[in-house]
Copies of this chain bind each other. A is one copy, B any other.
Amino acid sequence: MARYGKEHKLATRQRIIETAGRRLKRDGIDGSGVAALMADAGLTNGAFYAHFESKEDLVATAVADQLRDQRERLAAAPPGRAGLDQIIRAYLSPEHRDSREEGCPSAALLDEIGRCAEPTKQVYTDSVLAFIDDIAARLAPHDPRSARVATLGVYALMVGTLQLSRALADQELADEVLEQGIRNAMALLDDAPH
């Protein structure tokens, strides 16, 4: 392959970003080596630095891409509160818990992101806010900005619940935690918005 129009390199880059997103969520940031990330995209380690400045650069890019992806799935759900309820139930489902690599990047990586350098955290912040503001617009179409923090609070609840459910060795208890999480999220949404 050589001398393609620019779209070919961009397509390869995008393939790396997407496959990296899955592996990062499955094995963690520190748990994923550059060679493995490239192998997932059908490439070798050497090509990596033609596409990204560093591993951190890819991590930030992949996390942003994953959150953009989640945002698109969100847009596909029915509008308004009804669609939101559906999203919450899917998020806090055993299926989502058991498929880390297909799921929410925050639930898979949040504490590692908290340890990342500032630029990475900035990219995460921007990406998650774009996602959150979409939800806030659902809740308060007239004043989405004021619902931002309330929505972040519910999001944090959902992320923490999913993580906890993944970490518990007792499957039955892990399932109960998810159900409790759904009830809690609903309760907060019913109380809060005004």
Interface residues of A (CB under 8 A from B): 27-31, 100, 106-115, 118, 121-122, 124-125, 128, 149-150, 152-161, 163-164, 166-170, 173, 176-177, 180-181, 183-184, 187-188, 191
CB A192 to nearest CB in B, in angstroms, measures 8
Q: Are B156 and A163 in contact (CB under 8 A)?
A: yes
Residue of B nearest to A121 (CB): B169
Residue of B nearest to A191 (CB): B187
Chain B residues whose CB sits within 8 angstroms of the CB of A155 once the complex forms = 160, 164
Q: Are B115 and A31 in contact (CB under 8 A)?
A: yes
Question: Per a CB cutoff under 8 Å, which of B114, B152, B169, B184 touches A124?
Answer: B169
CB A62 to nearest CB in B, in angstroms, measures 15
State A104–B172 Cα separation when bound (angstroms).
25
Asked whether A167 and B110 contact (CB < 8 A) given A149-B177, A156-B157, A160-B159, the answer is yes
